[in-house]
Amino acid sequence: MLAFHNPLHRGHAPVHEFFRGERVPCFENPTRADYVESSLRARGHRLLAPDADSSTVLGQVHAARYLAFLEGAWQQWLALDTANASVQPFPSVWPVRTLRSDREPDNFIARLGLYSMDNGTPLAAGTWAAAKAGADAAASAAFRVDAGERAVFCCTRPPGHHAGPDFMGGYCFLNNAAVAAQALRDRGADRVAVLDVDYHHGNGTQSIFYGRGDVLFVSIHGDPRTEYPFYLGHADETGEGEGEGCNLNLPLPAGTTATAWFAALEQACARIARFGADALVVSLGLDTFEGDPISRFALACADFSRLGARLAGLKLPTVLVLEGGYATAELGTNAGNVLDGFEQ
Ligand code: Q9C
Ligand code: ZN
């Protein structure tokens, strides 16, 4: 399968995050992409550098002031103190209910809170360049699919599906799947379906398209009553306005194994078929794997081949976008199994 990689992903390399109150090494690190890329190369898949500029599409799925903040954030952080080059900024205050989010505070950390949903998404020197190149890879994949390619894989990090219209979160900054879906719409697909199979609910993608009837969002994920992102992803979220009925959440309890997971996948595929999509974007999180260190589903390596085959069975032009998945060695195996299962 044709794939686009992200030549700048290594510039996004924050050192630590918070996990159960402790500072721990980042789960979302450059070695993830190394494992996936080397597995794909070993299996004979082609990996190209992005050949499209996503700037216009980014402006359709993210707020202008959020994009401007993200692009300049590291420079603003350094401007406070040159010693900040080796310090990770974390937000510490957020505009929750009753507080105003219409004004950008002058304080950098307060601005960071305005544009963040959690304190688990550290910025690094090369974050903007890496995230932008990833969005370029997603747009490149969408354009190739529009040009007639059966399926294209966007092999990128940082991931994207938690990033909403104007915020980062869950290791995500720019919503690559939303970029791919919007790029397909711009190139003439009347209806696009986004299927999110990451362990975590794709709150960002859902929010970006929640009021739209031209993009269906379907997600299978850990029940938000116990799993991140907690505040979105329930079954009663069905879309609003023109998007009413165009959002389907299929939350499953922690511990779910292959039988129940694939039953949910059948429901998801039935909804996508009924929607009459012209193209499909898959938010391909691999953290449903039984060995994933931060997730609690129990898919085995072979299940990812089955997933790929089922996705191919939808018979739609397809962009697959890498999202989460944190078990390094098997990450390459599982990504390769999805692609090979798709093409078998
Ligand atoms: N600090 C994706 O899979 N934090 N994001 C978990 C560890 C949030 C996962 C606790 C997990 C976000 C793209
Ligand atoms: Zn995830």
Taking only the tens place, the pLDDT of each residue in 58-81 is 999 999 999 999 999 999 999 999
How far does residue 270's CA lie from ligand 1's centre (Å)? 29
How far does residue 325's CA lie from ligand 2's centre (Å)? 6
- Sequential DSSP letters for 280-315: EEEEE--TTBTT-SS---BB-HHHHHHHHHHHHTT-
Query: Among the atoms of ligand 1, which is closest to the Cα of residue 229?
Result: 8
How far does residue 63's CA lie from ligand 1's centre (Å)? 23
3-state secondary structure of 99: coil
Say whether the peptide bond before residue 158 is cis (omega within 30 degrees of 0): yes
Between β-strands 16-19 and 22-25, what pairing exists: parallel, antiparallel or unpaired? antiparallel
Query: Domain residues of the chain, as ranges?
Result: 2-343
Which residues have a Cβ under 8 Å from the Cβ of 95 and sit 6 or more positions away? Answer: 101, 113, 114
pLDDT tens track of the chain, all 344 residues?
999 999 999 999 999 999 888 999 999 999 999 999 999 999 999 999 999 999 999 999 999 999 999 999 999 999 999 999 999 999 999 999 999 999 999 999 999 999 999 999 999 999 999 999 999 999 999 999 999 999 999 999 999 999 999 999 999 999 999 999 999 999 999 999 999 999 999 999 999 999 999 999 999 999 999 999 999 999 999 999 999 999 999 999 999 999 999 999 999 999 999 999 999 999 999 999 999 999 999 999 999 999 999 999 999 999 999 999 998 889 999 999 999 999 99
Between β-strands 318-322 and 279-284, what pairing exists: parallel, antiparallel or unpaired? parallel
- pTM for this one? 0.98
Rounded to 5°, angle at Cα 194 from 189 and 198: 155
AA identity, residue 192: V
Question: Sign of dihedral through CA atoms 126, 169, 176, 45?
Answer: positive
Catalytic, 62? Answer no
Query: Among the atoms of ligand 1, which is closest to the Cα of residue 19?
Result: 1
Instruction: Tell me the C-alpha to C-alpha distance, in Å, between residue 172 and each of 46, 56, 209, 244, 339.
Output: 25, 19, 17, 26, 23
Q: Supply the Cα-derived Rg of the chain in whole angstroms.
A: 19
For domain 2-343, the CATH superfamily is Histone deacetylase domain (3.40.800.20)
First to last CA, the chain: 11
Which residues have a Cβ under 8 Å from the Cβ of 48 and sit 6 or more positions away? Answer: 2, 3, 4, 5, 140
Which residue among 5, 45, 62, 162 is the active-site one?
162
